[in-house]
Amino acid sequence: MALAAASQVIAHSEGHGSIEPAVALENAINAADHLTRVSVDRDWSPLAKSWSQLSTSSAKILAVVDGDYVVAVTNPDDGRILYILVAFNGAIVDANFTGTFPYVYDAQNPDTWTTD
């Protein structure tokens, strides 16, 4: 996937366990920042510069699904929400503005709103 480049600059968990929630938030913020500087296979890419250097207070974990984190990153300048799927090991799996990650989570469907 084109977003794999974003995960290469993100720190991963130590060992073989799942990352802590704080790491998932930080990785999502770092991914948003990275996506302002690179173009990926998305019509919204690259992100506007206002997405760079956001604080972790702009990010919120919406769900934990099988150890993976669904993180919502809100841009305070325009109010848009970038949804980022962070894998259990810290890698960035996907990002979009819909909150829908097939077979994992759908921000529009409360039936998928589960936590571990």
Residues 82-111 pLDDT 10s: 999 999 999 999 999 999 998 888 777 767
Residue 106 forms part of a structural domain: no
Among 49, 13, 55, which residue's Cα sits nearest to residue 34?
A: 49
Pseudo-torsion of CA 75, 96, 85, 9, nearest 10°? -70
- Of 3 and 83, the structure prediction assigns the larger pLDDT to 83
Give the pTM.
Answer: 0.82
Residue 114 forms part of a structural domain: no
Predicted confidence at residue 15, as pLDDT, reads 53
Predicted confidence at residue 90, as pLDDT, reads 97
Residue 72 forms part of a structural domain: yes
Residue 105 forms part of a structural domain: no
CA 6 to each of CA 39, 51, 58, 79, 110: distance values in angstroms, whole numbers, following the listed order: 10, 14, 19, 22, 28
C-alpha of 76 from chain center: 16
Q: How many structural domains comprise the chain?
A: 1
pLDDT in tens, 6-42: 544 444 445 557 899 999 999 999 999 999 999 999 9
Domain carrying residue 32 = 4-98
Predicted confidence at residue 1, as pLDDT, reads 42
